[in-house]
Amino acid sequence: MKRLDIVQRVLNKPANARYTAKFIGQVFDDILEEISSTLENGEDVKITGLGTFIVRKINDRPGRNPKTGEPVMIPAHHTVLFHPSRSLVKESGKTEKK
């Protein structure tokens, strides 16, 4: 699903008939921008009913250049993990591990 698809689905809901696609798109972009900037600042983002975006630091580690086989050091960096909420996992029909 693309951004435009999400905007159209929100726009097609009867309660949102008074809004324009441009307005809904701007609100959607603003929300994504806030999530992105929060993650860039190293903070986690929890959205109830959807899940949690967690910033994780990855330490330096040894690796190999796949082309030459030469050993290289992969520098430390940050990555974002997503953990879906229990309700989202339940709704998707997947079984939960106990």
Token representation of residue 18: 């008074």
| Whether residues 53 and 63 fall in one domain | yes
**pLDDT tens figures, 69-92:** 999 999 999 999 999 999 888 877
pTM score: 0.73
| Whether residues 36 and 84 fall in one domain | no
Collapsing DSSP to helix, strand or coil, 30 comes out as helix
Domain residue limits at 37: 1-41
**pLDDT tens figures, 23-36:** 999 999 999 999 99
Q: For residue 68, what is the domain's CATH number?
A: 4.10.520.10
| Whether residues 32 and 47 fall in one domain | no
What's the CA angle centered on 36, arms 10 and 93, to 5 degrees? 55
